[in-house]
């Protein structure tokens, strides 16, 4: 009877955790065999019979009958006198099967059995969740906001699985309330201890690529290929696309009539400014397109150093650099080339590196990051722009401006 009651109490795990019958039976047998090893030293001579339909379990111990006084291993041998208490016609050398009741294992062992079962089922459950989400790495997933913390948002999916959206993997403009549905990509899945840690990202460039697959049929069908995506999350992105069919305009298909197709993607990303450009193997043309909306006059490329010197009309320079230097930075990431912007007719200009004896190198690098690598290019910008576009203090910027002005006043 106590066997039946224990199995009935175990059956709740099958319903709660949706574990299939075969797996549950295997876990049950493993748990009981571990208990038998602790109690008797070995489980090799035990048969465990589980009947899931009746919710019953039987444990039988098999021993060999030996003469009285010759029992060396009481787990595998039984004396003739003890054997005949079971059945009075046993003889030496015969096998005896005797049912082991759970009560024989002791109350403490039964409690340990239940704890061990819980642990094994959780381990099985976590392994399955890990495998399930490992296969979803790099794919878009939707879950509901459950809890908002300072450094992360905790999400739950329909099955109650916990997904973490860290602060640094959110778009800066993201704002969530409990109950909101959130989309992102499953960026990574790791086992920490026995528990899977599922990390979602909305800042990863792959999220934008997958949104293109979801929202643009030609990308989903493979007629248009997304070659590369670069992003400054929430600010600006550049997407290079190509088509295997000359009759399809990949940029037009992705953007849609009056931006109808890309509008949903832009909204999902917090109004991120997305430039879609035609990919080409012609490096000069690709760099020119990457610097859009600026119009490039000419380009000199050094493939060995992966640098491109781009010459533009003065009025096009600010377009090439973009707000906060975003445009030129993303163009460089998209093409794989470090882009230096030069102005037409800037022969009298002076490279910032020429001032390295007066201006520290790291300060020069801060200006170069936003495409300002000559004295005049810096002087053309006002102090507020330089403050918002670099990590430099106002005092430092003013000092640099004064040094550069002296050069031309002389």
Polymer length of the chain: 410
The answer to whether 160 touches 198, Cβ cutoff 8 Å, is: no
The answer to whether 363 touches 391, Cβ cutoff 8 Å, is: no
CATH of domain 136-201: 2.40.50.140
- The answer for residues whose C-beta is within 8 angstroms of residue 370's C-beta and 6 or more apart is 321, 324, 325, 328, 329, 389, 390
- Amino acid 346: pLDDT: 54
DSSP 117-142: HHHHHHHHHHHHHHHHHHTTBTSEEE
CA distance 381 to 69: 104
CATH of domain 2-131: 3.30.1480.10
CA distance 316 to 288: 12
- Residue whose token pair is 């992360």: 152
CA distance 166 to 150: 9
Helix (H, G, I), strand (E, B) or coil at 86: helix
From first to last of the 410 residues of the chain, give the pLDDT tens digit: 344 445 555 555 544 455 666 667 777 778 788 888 888 888 888 888 877 665 567 888 899 988 988 888 888 888 988 888 888 888 888 898 888 877 667 666 666 666 767 676 677 677 778 888 999 999 999 999 999 998 999 999 998 899 999 999 999 999 999 999 999 999 999 877 778 899 999 999 999 999 999 999 999 999 999 999 999 999 999 999 999 888 899 999 999 888 889 999 999 999 999 999 999 999 999 999 999 999 999 999 999 999 999 988 878 888 888 888 899 999 999 999 999 888 776 556 778 887 887 889 899 888 888 888 888 888 888 889 888 888 899 999 999 998 888 876 65
CA distance 130 to 119: 16
The answer to whether 210 touches 139, Cβ cutoff 8 Å, is: yes
């Amino acid at each position: 009877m106590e066997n039946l009651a224990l199995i009935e109490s175990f059956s709740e795990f099958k319903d709660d955790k949706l574990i299939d019958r075969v797996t549950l039976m295997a876990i049950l047998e493993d748990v009981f065999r571990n208990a038998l090893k602790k109690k008797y030293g070995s489980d090799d001579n035990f048969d465990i019979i589980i009947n899931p339909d009746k919710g019953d379990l039987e444990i039988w111990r098999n021993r060999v009958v030996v003469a009285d006084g010759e029992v060396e291993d009481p787990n595998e041998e039984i004396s003739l006198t003890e054997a005949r208490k079971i059945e009075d016609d046993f003889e030496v050398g015969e096998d005896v099967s005797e049912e082991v009741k759970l009560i024989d294992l002791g109350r403490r062992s039964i409690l340990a059995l239940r704890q061990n079962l819980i642990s094994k089922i959780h381990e099985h459950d976590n392994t399955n969740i890990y495998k399930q989400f490992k296969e979803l790495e790099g794919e878009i997933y939707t879950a509901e906001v459950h809890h908002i913390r300072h450094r992360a948002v905790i999400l739950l999916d329909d099955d109650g699985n916990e997904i973490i959206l860290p602060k640094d993997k959110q778009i800066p403009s993201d704002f969530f309330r409990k109950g909101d549905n959130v989309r992102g990509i499953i960026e990574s899945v790791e086992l920490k201890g026995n528990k899977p840690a599922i990390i979602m990202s909305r800042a990863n460039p792959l999220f934008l690529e997958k949104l293109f697959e979801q929202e643009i049929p030609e990308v989903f069908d493979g007629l248009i290929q997304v070659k590369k995506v670069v992003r400054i999350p929430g600010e600006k992105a550049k997407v290079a696309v190509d088509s295997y069919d000359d009759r399809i305009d990949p940029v037009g298909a992705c953007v849609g009539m009056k931006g109808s197709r890309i509008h949903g993607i832009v909204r999902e990303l917090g109004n991120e400014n997305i430039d879609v450009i035609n990919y080409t193997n012609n490096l000069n043309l690709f760099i020119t397109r990457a610097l859009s909306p600026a119009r490039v006059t000419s380009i000199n490329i050094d493939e060995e150093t992966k640098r491109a010197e781009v010459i533009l009309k003065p009025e096009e320079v600010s377009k090439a650099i973009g707000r906060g230097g975003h445009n030129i930075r993303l163009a460089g990431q998209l093409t794989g080339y470090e882009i230096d912007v030069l102005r037409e007719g800037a022969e009298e200009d002076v490279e910032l590196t020429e001032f390295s004896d007066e201006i520290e190198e790291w300060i020069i690098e801060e200006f170069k990051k936003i495409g300002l690598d000559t004295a005049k290019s810096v002087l053309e910008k006002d102090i507020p722009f330089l403050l918002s576009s670099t990590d430099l203090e106002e005092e430092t910027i003013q000092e640099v401006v004064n040094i550069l002005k002296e050069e031309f006043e002389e």
